[in-house]
Amino acid sequence: MKTVTVDLGDRSYPIYIGRNILSQQNLISQHIHGKQIVIVTNETVAPLYLAKTKAMLNTGDLHTVILPDGEEFKNLTILNQIFDTLLENNCDRQSTLIALGGGVIGDMTGFAAACYQRGVNFIQIPTTLLAQVDSSVGGKTGVNHALGKNMIGAFYQPQCVIADTNTLNTLEDKELSAGIAEIIKYGLLGNEKFFHWLEQNMSQLLARDPDCLAYAIERSCMDKAEIVKKDEKEGGIRALLNLGHTFGHAIEAAMGYGQWLHGEAVATGMVMAASLSEKLHWINAEKYQKIEKLIKQAKLPIHAPDTMTTQQFIELMQRDKKNQGGNIRLVLLKDIGNAVISDDYEATLLLETIEQAISHNARKSSKE
C-alpha cells in the first residue's frame, strides 16, 4: 500500500492506494469519530462493494443511501435523498458520511457533508479510476445545474481517501479510459517525464496491469496534492487542473449530462486546448500530434459532437467559473508539461478551434 498526504495543516489527510485495502478494517476505523455512519453509493456499485464496506465498519448505527447511477442524477433533487436519511435517523454532528462510488457519488456526498449541520465528517472510497486520480482528492464537492456543471458546491475536505485498485477490475473499458484522460492531464500540466511514461505504458494501463495502474494513480495524486496544498480554493494555480474542462463541460452540458462520460469530454477538451495552443504558436505541430496520438491510444474521443454549434460552445463556455470580466479564460499549453491560464488569445482563433473540432472534415474522431 502507498500513502500520499494532502498537506493542509490541521485538515491534512491521507490517500491510501493499494490492492484489496477495502478489507483492512483498521484503515477506515481510525478516521471515524462518531457512532453514526451513512454510506452513500449507487445502484451499480452497491451490489459489488457495499457488503465489503459494511464489514469494515464496527457499528450498529449504520445506514445506507442508494442513489440512481449517472451524471444526470447529480442534482439538488437527488441530493435531498441523502439529507432525508440523515434527518430521519437523527444523525448528529459526529456522524460520518462515506462516499462509495465514482465522482458523482463523491461530489454529492461531500457536498451533503459540507451542508449537513454546517459540516460533518466524510470519507471517500472511490471505485472508478477517474475518481481515484482526481475527483476524490482536493475537496471539490457539488452538484450540477441545467445551466452549468458543478456550479453549486463547496470546498470541503474528506478525512481520508481509500483507493482500492481491485475495484477497477469491474469497470467498463470506456470508464477506465475516462479515468486515463485525467491521468494524461497531469502529464500535460507539469510533468513531462510522466507524459513520456504514459506514451510507453498506455497499453499496460488499458490492460489493467496492477503495477502500472498503482503507479499512475500514485503519481497523479501526488501531483494534485501538491497543487491543492498551494491553492486549496482555486484562487490561482489550482485552476490549471481544469485543462480541457472548459471545452469538456460545454460538451457535457450541450449533450445532456451522462451522454458523454466526464473523462471523454475532458479528453476532447484537452485536444481542443492543444489545438488552440498550436494556433498561438505556443506548441509546435509535432507536440500537438503527440498529445492527440496519446489520447487516441487511450481510446478516447478527440473530436467534439458535430451536433453542437460554435455559438452553443461559446455560450456554455461563458459560464465557466474561471472567467473574469466577461472573458473566457482557458488552460492552454506553452509546452508538454507547462500549462498556463490565459485569455490572451484572438477570439477568431478560438472560433476556428471550435469549428474544426465539430467539423466532420477536421481531425477525425477516434469514436467514429
* Whole-number Cα distances in Å, 11 to 5, 60, 97, 156: 11, 28, 17, 10
Cell 502529464 belongs to residue: 187
214 and 153 in a single domain? The answer is no
Question: Measured between alpha carbons, how far is 343 from 7 in angstroms, rounded to an integer?
Answer: 31
The secondary element (H helix, E strand) that includes residue 233 is: none
| pLDDT score, position 360 | 56
Residue 227 CB contacts under 8 Å (≥ 6 apart), including other chains:
237, 238, 240, 241
80 and 138 in a single domain? The answer is yes
Q: What is the pTM of this model?
A: 0.91
Judge contact between 269 and 246, C-beta under 8 A: yes
133 and 183 in a single domain? The answer is no
Task: Note whether residue 363 is domain-resident.
Answer: no
Q: Is 118 a residue of the active site? A: yes
Q: Is 218 a residue of the active site? A: no
Choosing from 74, 149, 185, 262, the catalytic residue is 262
Q: Is 140 a residue of the active site? A: yes
Q: Residue 124 sits in which domain range?
A: 2-170
Choosing from 74, 185, 238, 296, the catalytic residue is 238
Between 262-279 and 285-297, two packed helices, what is the crossing angle to 10 degrees?
170
Q: Is 196 a residue of the active site? A: no
112 and 209 in a single domain? The answer is no
Q: Phi-psi bin for 234: left (phi > 0), alpha (psi -120 to 50), beta? A: left
Pairing mode, if any, of strands 121-126 and 96-101? parallel
Choosing from 74, 249, 279, 299, the catalytic residue is 249
Q: Is 199 a residue of the active site? A: no
Cell 477497477 belongs to residue: 168
The number of distinct structural domains making up the chain is: 2
Choosing from 71, 175, 234, 252, the catalytic residue is 234
Choosing from 121, 150, 191, 242, the catalytic residue is 242
Residue 336 CB contacts under 8 Å (≥ 6 apart), including other chains:
187, 188, 192, 195, 283, 287, 290, 291
Choosing from 26, 88, 90, 118, the catalytic residue is 118
Mark which of 118, 142, 170 sits at the end of a domain: 170
Choosing from 185, 224, 279, 299, the catalytic residue is 224
The C-alpha cell at 247 is: 471545452
- Burial bucket for residue 101 (CB in 10 Å: 0-12, 13-18, 19+): buried
Task: Note whether residue 200 is domain-resident.
Answer: yes
Choosing from 121, 144, 149, 182, the catalytic residue is 182
126 and 160 in a single domain? The answer is yes
Phi (first) and psi of residue 136, to 5 degrees = -80, -10
Q: Is 363 a residue of the active site? A: no
Q: Is 360 a residue of the active site? A: no
Task: Note whether residue 299 is domain-resident.
Answer: yes
121 and 212 in a single domain? The answer is no
Q: Name the amino acid, one letter, at 107.
A: D
Longest pairwise C-alpha distance within the chain: 62
181 and 262 in a single domain? The answer is yes
Q: Is 234 a residue of the active site? A: yes
Task: Note whether residue 182 is domain-resident.
Answer: yes
| pLDDT score, position 247 | 97
Cell 462516499 belongs to residue: 99
Q: Is 249 a residue of the active site? A: yes
Distance of CA 350 to the CA centre of its chain: 25
| pLDDT score, position 368 | 40
Q: Tell me the CATH number at 227.
A: 1.20.1090.10
Question: Measured between alpha carbons, how far is 176 from 208 in angstroms, rounded to an integer?
Answer: 9
Task: Note whether residue 104 is domain-resident.
Answer: yes
Beta bridge partners of 324: 327
89 and 112 in a single domain? The answer is yes
Mark which of 120, 144, 170 sits at the end of a domain: 170
324 and 256 in a single domain? The answer is yes
| Helix locations, the chain, DSSP H | 25-29, 51-56, 76-88, 103-115, 129-130, 173-190, 192-206, 210-230, 245-255, 262-279, 285-297, 310-317, 347-358
Choosing from 245, 279, 299, 303, the catalytic residue is 245
190 and 113 in a single domain? The answer is no
Each residue of 243-261: pLDDT tens digit? 999 999 999 999 988 899 9
| pLDDT score, position 11 | 95
Task: Note whether residue 99 is domain-resident.
Answer: yes
Task: Note whether residue 231 is domain-resident.
Answer: yes
Q: Could you please report the per-residue DSSP string of 2-60?
A: EEEEE--GGG-EEEEEETTGGG-HHHHHTT--SS-EEEEEETTTIIIIIHHHHHH---S
295 and 348 in a single domain? The answer is yes
Choosing from 74, 140, 296, 303, the catalytic residue is 140
Three-state DSSP state, 337 = coil
Three-state DSSP state, 318 = coil
Which parts of the chain have pLDDT scores under 50?
A: 361-368
Each residue of 61-110: pLDDT tens digit? 999 999 999 999 999 999 999 999 999 999 999 999 999 999 999 999 99
36 and 78 in a single domain? The answer is yes
Q: Is 63 a residue of the active site? A: no
| pLDDT score, position 61 | 92
Q: Tell me the CATH number at 125.
A: 3.40.50.1970
Mark which of 151, 170, 189 sits at the end of a domain: 170
Task: Note whether residue 185 is domain-resident.
Answer: yes
